[in-house]
Structure 1
Amino acid sequence: MIRLTLLIIFPMLFFSVSAQTDGSIKHQFDSLFNRHFKKGFNGNVLYAKAGNILYSGNFGITKYTGGISLNDSTLFELGSNAKQFTALAVMQLIENHSFALSSDVQTILPDFPYPGITVEHLLQHQSGLPDYMELFRKKKVWDRKKIADNGDVYRFLKERKPELLFQPGTKFTYSNTGYLILCLIIEKVSALTFDEYLQKFVFAPSEMKHSAVIRRRYQPAALPNNTEGYQKIFGKYQIRNTVSKFSCAYLDGVQGDGSISTTILDMKNWMDALRNNLLISEKSKEWMFTTDSVSLGYGFGFFIGMEGIWKNTIYHGGNWAGYYTWMFYDRKTQDFVIILCNNSYSKTPDIFIATREAILKAQKTTTEY
């Protein structure tokens, strides 16, 4: 396994940036990403404003063994940033009158074992469902030498019916299980697989030409311009594609809460489509971006920034099998940032915050002049 330090010796081999923006932002972004690249960051970044790409950078290689330089069309796994796509698909089906936000899940999935949970509870993490990731870590629940999928988790919920954490609608607790159930609802109502639905009604209309639902270990496929996810273990970066008790790969078959792979360019196109109401109406979009008295900082598939540097933004992060991903969109200024990393670089959240601060600083300077 090639150690990350080899990338630092020859940084110019694996680093490229294109920028057409204010000199201050360009300088700050160049400095920020170069600095973290030398410390270990491996990934891509894009900054756009009102649909115009102002900065994109590729820092590293697709794989530490036999990899090629990253480019703007390189695929990364989104982790929990996939939840925004699941939420959007649900809103499309609501617009088509397939069901309502207030619909009880049991009216859509009759064998769902928990009465009183609505679609909206699932979207806003108010269902009280225990997180399947915690449950399936237990040996008595799942053999971690096998890969679980949505069906395995759903059967467990029906057969064992673990106790809810709280009465639905009374608390906010981030739940991957809720978005897994939303995926099952999408498939049941549309009579399509999750990937088929997204390809037809989300990716294609958004011109997301490289994006797909990819379960890298559950259904391996040779994909061009793809990455591998790495995690540092005992001082060495190791690929996270094995199925064992030491890896989360035994949950790689699950969809809805994750499992989407995409590129920085596709994510920019996605945000353009959402911003311009190409996928859902303005009213439905506003529902996605609205909080309530229980989920104070979460809408449908997005965290909602209410104060501080995140005011006026929607944002989310993802962390899965070596991948770190972060995005935000400022609804007032139309600034959009997406960061995709594939080596679990621990300071990726710091980079994300720094990009937001740099943009706000530039805006303040422009306003003062």
Structure 2
Amino acid sequence: MKKLCAILIPLILTGQLVYPQTESEKRQTIFSYLNGLAYPEFSGVILLAQRDSVCFKKAYGYAVIEDNVENNFNTLFNTASITKTMTAVATLQLVDKGLLDLDIPIGRYLPKYPNQTVQDSVTAHHLLTHTSGLNNFLVDDFKTMGKLKLKTTKDYLPLFSSESLLFSPGTQYSYSAAGYIVLGLLIEEITGKDFHKYMNENVFKPAEMYNTFALPIDSIIKNKASGYTSYFGEINHLSKNDSFLSKANPAGFYYTTAENLLKFFNTLKKYQLISKDLTSKMMSPLVKGYYTNYGYGISVDKRFDQTIVGHTGGWYGVQCELMYFEDDEITAVILSNIDTEEGKGMNRVSNFIKHVLANKPMMN
């Protein structure tokens, strides 16, 4: 199979992709499409790599629209829920060290957790797979509240800890930001370290992710992309998303670059962050999610001709995705600072890449 960066004739017909295509033709079809993208169709950065070699990267649009500041390869983007994959790795490191049992109720580790039912029935396995019954907490109260006071992991507890479980743990799947906050509390309690300090020392530093940060929402940082929301296509103009954000927490909102996300995944799949056995289990289809299967903090998509593992991130003014195509050994990182309705922006780019690599036709 030729390298991803081979230069061949584009094979795009009016309205529809050529089908089927050879491996090399599929890759060049993707390059042609990505090179033809332009703002406002997409704003952000796209990076493709095969194995360890980056073969495509391009920045589009503006980091600060009102000042005409363009995005570049070093622009920091909010990653929303891709953060959950990083938190899952940190949790599994404790399992590797024998400090955490995935199947023991969390009350053993968090005896002061303010909900006895959760203490007695929820395990780290449930939290990692979104089968705990804890709610998502990212609802109207969170959207409208002042978030400057959310500085530590425990500051999020009042948003959900008094709520009853949605179902008996282990019986259903329900995507839960609250579950990942509790994982952060477990990490802090077991290690005796602040969550962000632990992440910096044990995840980001080993992966050489030196441009990954938990930024306060009122901070002024060079080369950070502002977020712009259309309320996912509900309005026809863009608004700044500052009021929707909080400082990074175990469930979301770390800022990073496309290159740093590639480093993270490369380090992970080489078993340099957690053991081979746990990495394999993390990327296995442990439960059925809404559209795909879910492992430990990562989706396992088997709807295509090859398995795609990764995670999406979506919030007001944030749309992003990290994907790894197992057969082709291709990693795709898509980071955008503008949300769009379904079928446009980041979603359209992601779906195009998936459909081409899966050799399935898709309307252009």
TM-score by length of 1: 0.82
2:125 is paired with a residue whose SS is helix
Higher mean C-alpha deviation, range 126-135 or range 338-347? 126-135
Cα distance in 1 for partners of 2:61, 2:39 equals 10
2:238 is paired with a residue whose SS is strand
Quick one: structure 1 residues 284 and 322, their matched pair in 2 at CA, closer, same or farther if it must change by over 3 Å? same
Aligned position for 1:305: 301
1:40 is paired with a residue whose SS is coil
Instruction: Return the match for 2:349 from 345, 348, 351.
Output: 351
Q: Is the CA contact (8 Å cut-off) linking 1:40 and 1:345 kept in structure 2?
A: no
Q: Is the CA contact (8 Å cut-off) linking 2:227 and 2:241 kept in structure 1?
A: yes
Q: CA deviation at 1:208?
A: 1.2
Q: Is the CA contact (8 Å cut-off) linking 2:288 and 2:294 kept in structure 1?
A: no
1:329 and 2:324 aligned: yes
Q: CA deviation at 1:78?
A: 0.4
Quick one: structure 1 residues 55 and 146, their matched pair in 2 at CA, closer, same or farther if it must change by over 3 Å? closer
Aligned position for 1:124: 129
Cα distance in 1 for partners of 2:106, 2:57 equals 42
Cα distance in 2 for partners of 1:156, 1:173 equals 17
Quick one: structure 1 residues 173 and 224, their matched pair in 2 at CA, closer, same or farther if it must change by over 3 Å? same
Q: Deviations over 1:156-200 (max 9, x none)?
A: 544xx2111100011111111101111111122222222211111
1:153 and 2:156 aligned: yes
Q: Is the CA contact (8 Å cut-off) linking 2:207 and 2:267 kept in structure 1?
A: yes
Q: CA deviation at 1:62?
A: 1.2
Tell me which amino acid in the other structure corresponds to 2:318. Answer: Y
Instruction: Return the match for 2:286 from 284, 289, 292.
Output: 292
Quick one: structure 1 residues 194 and 204, their matched pair in 2 at CA, closer, same or farther if it must change by over 3 Å? same
1:319 and 2:323 aligned: no
Q: Which runs of 4+ in 1 moved over 4 A?
A: 24-27, 293-296
Aligned position for 1:240: 241
Q: Is the CA contact (8 Å cut-off) linking 1:41 and 1:345 kept in structure 2?
A: no
Aligned position for 2:337: 342
Quick one: structure 1 residues 108 and 210, their matched pair in 2 at CA, closer, same or farther if it must change by over 3 Å? same
Aligned position for 1:228: 226
Q: How many residues get paired?
A: 327
Higher mean C-alpha deviation, range 223-232 or range 23-32? 23-32
Quick one: structure 1 residues 106 and 119, their matched pair in 2 at CA, closer, same or farther if it must change by over 3 Å? same
Quick one: structure 1 residues 186 and 334, their matched pair in 2 at CA, closer, same or farther if it must change by over 3 Å? same
1:84 and 2:122 aligned: no
Q: Is the CA contact (8 Å cut-off) linking 1:78 and 1:318 kept in structure 2?
A: yes
1:236 is paired with a residue whose SS is coil
Aligned position for 1:280: 274
Aligned pairs for 1:44-193 (under 5 A) are 44-112=45-113, 113=115, 114=118, 115-134=120-139, 136-137=141-142, 144-147=145-148, 149=150, 150-158=153-161, 161-193=162-194
RMSD: 2.4
Aligned position for 1:366: none
Q: Is the CA contact (8 Å cut-off) linking 1:77 and 1:260 kept in structure 2?
A: yes
Higher mean C-alpha deviation, range 36-45 or range 314-323? 36-45
Higher mean C-alpha deviation, range 82-91 or range 180-189? 180-189
What 5-or-longer segments of structure 1 have no aligned partner? 1-18, 243-247, 363-369
Identical counterparts, % of pairs: 23
Cα distance in 2 for partners of 1:20, 1:126 equals 41
Aligned position for 2:207: 206
Q: Deviations over 1:92-121 (max 9, x none)?
A: 111111111112111111122122100000
1:308 is paired with a residue whose SS is coil
Q: Deviations over 1:47-96 (max 9, x none)?
A: 10111111111111211123432222111010111110000000111111
Q: CA deviation at 1:238?
A: 1.8
Higher mean C-alpha deviation, range 206-215 or range 273-282? 206-215
